[in-house]
Amino acid sequence: MLPWKVTRRDGTPDEDLHAGLRGAPPIHSVRRALPVLLILTALLRIFFHLDTEFALTLAATPPVAALSYGPLATAGFGAVAILLFELPLLQWDTPGTGDFGSLLFVVLLSVAVSWVRKRREDKLFSIRTVAESAQLAVLTPLAERVGEVRCSGLYRAAARDSRVGGDLFDVRDGPYGVRAVVGDVQGHGLAAVGTVAALLGAFRESVLDDPDLERVAARLDRRMVIDSEGVEHAELFATALLMEFPPGSSVVRLLSCGHPAPLMLRDGRLVEPAVQSSPPLGLGLSLDGIGAPVVRTVELEAGDVLVAFSDGVTEARDASGAYYPLEERLPALGVTDPDRLAEAVWQDLRRFVRRIEDDLQLLVLAPDLQARAEAGRTQAGRTGGPSAEDGGSRPPRA
């Protein structure tokens, strides 16, 4: 993955999934230059009668080909070079000088180098493909729509050539509505991938099993505590923001475990939901009944867009050391389409900062209130009771 590479988890990554896996692609200008070099060398010899020493350019062709072509193509260039060298019309081969033997040795050595390079390249491609698959199993691509919620986002890992770092987010639909998590674990880069995988696994189970966000937070907290047991000076912790869109309702429930509150765009204006921050995950406080997390319910209006983010966005600095002012820049972008908002923030962030050194992520959620109301009425018709919007109770625990 190249610097500035951003993996957009909306199903349409900025670059092809396997782009660059085979290493830096051959420079096309170099590949095209090799045939031109051979032809030009022969023409200069015929029409300008250049010295025999000019034939040394032929010996340079196979080694250059070995850097850009496979062994068969390298052997082909070598054969052409030998043919031109021995061509009577050019009169380059002087008997008794040993030039032919030297050229043949260079060609054979170039073919061997090309074969070794190709084998190493294929092995690297295989290893990195497996690594890509493993990382995508942790951070699965984000669908454009989950339930009645439109989704888009971006994710950039700090570690070079990595798609997963210390940030996490996911959106899942379940019996209790659409739930989303945005988190930031201790550390960044590859060292935090194991914790990210554990938290996402616990969250995906909680979407199906736990009837409220408090229990979801407790499950994540317990996961962190258990993973820290038996590890001396583990000090493993993570911040997380949980969001829930109950079926058939025009509200969103928010629970913050030490994570920044989301921002909300309403008619192009910035609205900051009042969210009470609870202790981070991994301290075990919720298991001991201390510092129990508090859920806030926020009423939504048609067209509202929620933007959740990690500190990698707000702590990015420009050349003067100033932090990226997301709260100021977000409404100034003039973008309200949730499908384009994440990309607009990313481009603005790239223009603002000098260099990004931390994992960063941005998750954009836009609930379709009309579709949610219809889903609520459908659910009420199936169960024979009132919908959540009409004051009905929450679904029973699965």
Instruction: CATH number of the domain at 196, please.
Output: 3.60.40.10
Q: What would the pLDDT profile of 214-264 be if each residue is shown by its tens digit?
A: 999 999 999 888 887 766 655 678 999 999 999 888 999 999 999 999 999
Pair 358, 261 in one domain? yes
Residue 89 falls inside a structural domain? yes
Pair 170, 36 in one domain? no
Residue 183 falls inside a structural domain? yes
- Residue given tokens 């836009």 in the structure block: 366
Pair 160, 120 in one domain? no
Pair 123, 227 in one domain? no
Q: How confident is the model at residue 379 (pLDDT cuts 50, 70, 90)?
A: low
What is the Cα–Cα distance from 367 to 247, expressed in whole angstroms? 11
The residue type at 222: R
Q: What would the pLDDT profile of 301-312 be if each residue is shown by its tens digit?
A: 999 999 999 988
Residue 223 falls inside a structural domain? yes
pLDDT of residue 296: 94
CB-side exposure of 355: number of CA atoms within 13 Å?
A: 3
Pair 240, 364 in one domain? yes
Higher pLDDT, 165 or 105: 105
Contact assessment for residue 232 and residue 271, using Cβ atoms and an 8 Å cutoff: no
What is the Cα–Cα distance from 361 to 353, expressed in whole angstroms? 15
Q: Is 339 exposed, middle or buried (0-12, 13-18, 19+ CB in 10 A)?
A: middle
Q: The domain containing residue 338 runs over which residues? A: 141-380
Q: How confident is the model at residue 291 (pLDDT cuts 50, 70, 90)?
A: low
Pair 121, 221 in one domain? no
Tell me what the mean pLDDT of segment 360-376 comes to. 79
Residue 387 falls inside a structural domain? no
- Residue given tokens 């977000």 in the structure block: 330
pLDDT of residue 29: 59
Contact assessment for residue 157 and residue 147, using Cβ atoms and an 8 Å cutoff: no
Q: How confident is the model at residue 6 (pLDDT cuts 50, 70, 90)?
A: very low
What is the Cα–Cα distance from 285 to 261, expressed in whole angstroms? 20
Pair 274, 235 in one domain? yes
Pair 269, 300 in one domain? yes
Number of domains the chain contains = 2
Residue 85 falls inside a structural domain? yes
Pair 221, 319 in one domain? yes
Pair 199, 302 in one domain? yes
Higher pLDDT, 355 or 379: 355
What is the Cα–Cα distance from 110 to 50, expressed in whole angstroms? 26
Residue 9 falls inside a structural domain? no
What is the Cα–Cα distance from 46 to 64, expressed in whole angstroms? 24
Backbone CA torsion sign across 187, 193, 198, 204: positive
DSSP classification of residue 323: B
Pair 111, 184 in one domain? no
pLDDT of residue 330: 92
